[in-house]
Structure 1
Amino acid sequence: MAITNIVVPYTVARDLVSYEEASRFFAETGHSVSVTTVRRWVEEEDLPVERDGKKDLVSFSDLLMAHADWVAGRSG
């Protein structure tokens, strides 16, 4: 029997941030990265980007994974 209807019991949080916001969030945690680095991660990891007017928005969760990869690469 195939599943024909899936109900998600909660709303998925949208964690979209601008490159500038992401840079500030990382700085607040003591892991400062520049806006240029955030842009590079987006390009290198081919992260999905949404456009809001003149701003590009990217998932902060995706950036956290890119940051983890970056840290792992620097230490290994």
Structure 2
Amino acid sequence: MAITSAIPHIAGIPDPVSLDEAVALFQRTGHPAPKSTLEGWISQAGVTKVRSGKHSYVSFTALLEIHAVKIRARDA
């Protein structure tokens, strides 16, 4: 899977992904997560979210780890 747009430089986030891009990427996995759910998980986990222009960005690695934990727990 690849991020759909050029990767912006976001200070403090080595592998930024916008929340909209993350929603689209997780949709492809068969384990979708709506934007509101991702925002809740990000807040609960204390992951840094940076707004740049119209988009909010987070670490894709952090989001993948959170997603994996939440999906495992949901499907257990």
Q: TM-score, normalised by structure 1?
A: 0.72
Q: How far does the alpha carbon of each residue in 1:2-45 deviate from its partner, in whole angstroms, 9 at most, with x for none?
A: xxxxxxxxxxxx32111111010000121111011111111010
Q: Name the aligned partner's letter for residue 31 of structure 1.
A: H
Count of aligned residue pairs for this structure pair: 63
8 Å contact 2:31–2:71 — kept in the other structure?
no
Q: 2:68 maps to what in 1? A: 68
Query: Cα RMSD (Å) of the superposition?
Result: 1.3
Is 1:44 the counterpart of 2:44 in the alignment? Answer: yes
SS of 1:17's equivalent in the other structure is strand
Identity %: 35
- Indicate the structure (1 or 2) with the bigger Cα radius of gyration: 1
Is the CA contact 2:50–2:56 (under 8 Å) kept in the aligned structure 1? Answer: yes
How far did residue 69 of structure 1 move?
1.5
Match of 2:25 in 1: 25
Unaligned runs of 5+ in 1: 1-13
1:28–1:66 Cα change, 3 Å: same
